[in-house]
Amino acid sequence: MTRSPAKTRERLLNAAIEVFSAKGFMGASTREIARVAEVNEVTLFRYFQSKEQLLGAVAQHITALKLEAISHQAEWTQDLQVDLLHYAQLHDQMLEENEALIRMFIGEAQRHPDEAIQVFQQAFLPLREKLIAYLRSGIERGTVRPDADLPMVVDQFTGMLLAGMLRRHVALAVRGYSRDRYIAGCVETFVRGIGTPTEPLQRAPTGACLNLPQSNLGNEANSL
């Protein structure tokens, strides 16, 4: 039975996630990725001209769900606390689902060729720009401090979320808070830092549950 081009591309992306996660960028080969995808290497190169291009496609693949969810900013509540909690939940879900791939990238960041770093980072820039644009509109609405360095605070916010995901997978000690509470706490801290004095801060209940859309991204690979 002949697979459709879309199905073949999906198989290649899922295979690449699996192999990159297990062997790293430098250790992965296009031959191995093609084998896991159950296609020949020539077929792989019909879809992706190089391993670097494939890595960039993988990065775009794992960010697609989150980018779609946050693209329609007119549908956001314009409540800083509510909207940032939603963004944080989606971001954390993406990190959790692709933990092995993200850990690989962090571990090999110093050894990746410049092109690989560039294509991977470019895939995440739209997510960063969407949040910067939202906070810029918050300045116009008077809910965000006008002196906030938006690129810097966005990096600080997503950095807190990344640190939380990594800690969940390496620290065995009981820390006295849940994943949900950590995410809500990151949002509270962030809003306290960038919100104007008139912006109300609603503390999320300790037992708040994530209400996230189900996704099968990276299910075969089990892992940014």
pLDDT in tens, the chain (224 residues): 567 899 999 999 999 999 998 998 888 999 999 999 999 999 999 999 999 889 889 988 888 877 877 776 666 888 999 999 999 998 999 899 888 888 887 777 667 666 666 766 777 888 899 899 999 999 999 999 999 999 999 999 999 999 999 988 876 667 788 999 999 999 999 999 999 986 555 555 444 443 444 333 333 332 33
pLDDT digits (tens, 9 = 90+) for 149-206: 999 999 999 999 999 999 888 766 677 889 999 999 999 999 999 999 865 555 554 4
Q: What angle do CA 86, 88, 94 make, to 5 degrees?
A: 105
pTM of full prediction above 0.75: yes
CA distances from 61 to 54, 76, 141, 196 (A): 10, 24, 33, 36
Q: Cα(215)–Cα(65) distance, rounded to whole angstroms?
A: 8
